[in-house]
Amino acid sequence: TSPFVPRHFLSIADLTPSELTTLIRDGQSYKHAIKSGLTPRNLLGSLTGKTVAMIFNKRSTRTRVSTEGAVVAMGGHPMFLGKDDIQLNVNESLHDTAVVLSSMVSCIVARVGPHSDIVDLAKSSTVPVINALSDDYHPLQTIADVITIHEAFRSSPTPGRSPTSGLGLEGLKLAWIGDANNVLFDLAIGAIKLGMDVSVASPKGHEIPKPMLEVIGQARDGVKDAGRLFETRVPEEALKGADVVFTDTWISMGQEAEKAERLRAFKGFQVTPELVERGGAKKDWKFMHCLPRHQEVNDEVFYSPRSLVFQEAENRLWAAIGKFGAAFLLESQTRADGCL
């Protein structure tokens, strides 16, 4: 028999548009079912007796809690392994850690620094590895973000569109104001695959790196009605016609030493009602942010009725449940039984 090759989930780039659509629809249907008191039979108990290792080398509120909650909702047992809990990086290599953990658990979820760490982990793991944030990507955040955009703009069926077809997000315009970072990269890849345009305004030195531009560009490959990416240094330009205004911290985890330089570089990039007004976003524009938030948005926008940030945060749970309920883990479990 051929050895089991697990399917990993390291970036939205790993998904076809239809797989991404399925994850979003699954997350939404579990949300509606569970909130209305139903217990989806195919979900609950599907991880009974299974363990999920959660290697977190960085802090986390949403990703940790949503992952643990999702695994428990499905009857599994999450094992949180913070950076002081296991031998990794002190006494033991990534390779050895991946081999040992994957001989004992059904899935590894990991939050790392350099993206190469999660790639290495996946190479040495015999069970699926899911990226819980690396310096380059944050795929679970993108799933929650698209669920949130769909709820805000397309919750009622588009006339003439079958409910099983695409999500109907084509033509929406997302504006990203600030640091071109991990959250943006997966969001842009996902948006483009689903037909949304993304305009990014970031200051010199903090724009999308060239190799990442190529990866984002590949999201268009083979996709009919793919979205497009625009770049500028001027926030107002990116905001023109935007349906959703996004930002994220100017100082990601691991960049603390660059704080002073970054605060200088991002001057003028704070999302305020005046900035969005000057840019000419659509009348009903919404605000989104993965959280935690700092000075990149003011309170007036962050706590306004336009702000979807807390709905977006809650959707991390439904995204995680949809994710674990979807092909990767369940299919892998079926095929990996011999490994357990």
Which of 81, 290, 320, 326 contacts ligand CP by CB under 6 A?
290
- Cα(30)–Cα(23) distance, integer angstroms: 11
- Cα(337)–Cα(340) distance, integer angstroms: 5
Cβ of residue 181: shortest distance to ligand CP, in angstroms? 12
Looking at the Cβ atoms of 144 and 191, the one nearer to ligand CP is 144
Give the residues across from 131 on adjacent strands.
110
Point out which residues bind ligand NVA (CB under 6 A). 133, 181-183, 248-249, 252-253, 290
- Cα(151)–Cα(286) distance, integer angstroms: 12
- Cα(189)–Cα(131) distance, integer angstroms: 15
- Cα(82)–Cα(115) distance, integer angstroms: 18
CA 156 to chain centre: 24
Cβ of residue 253: shortest distance to ligand CP, in angstroms? 8
Residue 130 interacts with ligand CP (CB under 6 A)?
no
CB 167 within 8 A of CB 24: yes
Looking at the Cβ atoms of 141 and 332, the one nearer to ligand CP is 141
Which of 28, 106, 141, 307 contacts ligand CP by CB under 6 A?
141
Residue range at the interface with ligand CP (CB under 6 A); choices 56-64, 86-94, 170-178, 210-218? 56-64
- Cα(175)–Cα(112) distance, integer angstroms: 27
Marked catalytic residue, from 133, 140, 290, 320: 290
Q: Is 107 a catalytic residue?
A: no
Binds 182: which of ligand NVA, ligand CP, none (CB < 5-8 Å by kind): ligand NVA
Report the interface residues with ligand CP, using CB under 6 A: 60-63, 133, 141, 290-291
Which residues are the active-site residues?
290
